[in-house]
């Protein structure tokens, strides 16, 4: 189901004006709909059950449209016995430029090919996960593929499906207006919205 359709449907179910612009109440209901049917029967306030502190910190930096997806992914992974945390969310242009400099003009290994404005992280529509086993972070694990499949099921795009640089910890929510766009085209449109102070999902 398309996101705007889901917003309208959820809003009419809730009996609030379905203007297609989701507020917190609508996003909570959407969260409940995205996660397993068992969880979906919980009240909307249960959708606000906190996850671990580190994930919460990252989720808070994400666009409000993306936040319920991040929570749902943690929930879905937990339901199959996999512990994940959201370990990266929004990066400002400056933070992205600093990351780009690493391994080039600054010491360290090259970790990204994206400068400020060239990563979906710069718009709060992307996040990275980490797999944890016994409290330990695992940078490499076959579980990333499992979580990737769960994310795709939720309607997220998964970096593990990328042709050029595969990025298994990476997930992003593509705005509906960008569904038919190539990645570069979408990023250019996101930069325009960013510079205009416009909403990325409107
Ligand atoms: Zn990422």
CATH code (residue 143): 3.30.1380.10
In a domain, 113, yes or no: no
Same domain? 148 vs 170: yes
Same domain? 87 vs 65: yes
In a domain, 106, yes or no: no
In a domain, 202, yes or no: no
Same domain? 164 vs 180: yes
| Structure confidence at residue 192 (pLDDT) | 98
Range of the domain at 18: 1-47
User: What residues contact 135, with CB distance under 8 A and at least 6 apart?
Assistant: none
**Ligand 1: centre distance to CA 18 (Å):** 33
Q: In this predicted model, what pLDDT tens digit does every residue of 41-84 receive, in sequence order?
A: 333 444 456 799 999 999 999 999 999 899 999 988 998 899 99
Rounded distance between C-alpha atoms, residue 75 and residue 52, angstroms: 11
Which H or E element spans position 169?
Answer: none
Q: In this predicted model, what pLDDT tens digit does every residue of 25-41 receive, in sequence order?
A: 776 776 666 654 444 43
Same domain? 43 vs 55: no
In a domain, 104, yes or no: no
| Structure confidence at residue 43 (pLDDT) | 37
**Ligand 1: centre distance to CA 126 (Å):** 6
Which H or E element spans position 88?
Answer: strand 83-88
| Structure confidence at residue 48 (pLDDT) | 57
**Ligand 1: centre distance to CA 169 (Å):** 7
Same domain? 19 vs 43: yes
pLDDT at 139 over 90: yes
**Ligand 1: centre distance to CA 162 (Å):** 12
- Tell me how far apart the terminal alpha carbons of the chain are, to the nearest angstrom: 17
Same domain? 60 vs 43: no
Same domain? 152 vs 58: yes
Q: Which residues pair with 172 in a beta bridge?
A: 126, 157
Burial of residue 109 (CB within 10 Å: 0-12, 13-18, 19+) is exposed
């Amino acid at each position: 189901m398309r996101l705007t359709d889901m917003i309208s449907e959820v809003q009419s179910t809730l009996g609030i004006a379905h203007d297609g612009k989701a507020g917190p109440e609508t996003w909570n209901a959407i969260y409940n709909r995205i996660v397993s049917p068992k969880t979906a029967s919980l009240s909307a306030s249960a959708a606000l059950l906190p996850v671990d502190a580190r994930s919460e910190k990252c989720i808070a930096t994400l666009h409000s449209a993306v936040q319920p997806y991040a929570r749902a992914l943690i929930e879905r992974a937990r339901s199959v016995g996999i512990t994940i945390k959201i370990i990266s969310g929004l990066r400002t242009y400056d933070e992205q430029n600093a990351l780009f400099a690493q391994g080039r003009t600054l010491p360290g290994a090259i970790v990204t090919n994206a400068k400020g404005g060239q990563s979906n992280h710069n718009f709060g529509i992307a996040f990275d996960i980490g797999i944890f086993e016994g409290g330990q972070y695992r940078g490499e694990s076959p579980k990333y593929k499992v979580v990737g499949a769960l994310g795709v099921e939720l309607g997220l795009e998964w970096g593990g499906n990328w042709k050029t640089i595969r990025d298994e910890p990476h997930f992003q929510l593509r705005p509906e207006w960008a569904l038919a766009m190539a990645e570069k085209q979408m990023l250019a449109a996101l930069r325009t919205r960013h510079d205009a102070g416009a909403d990325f999902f409107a």
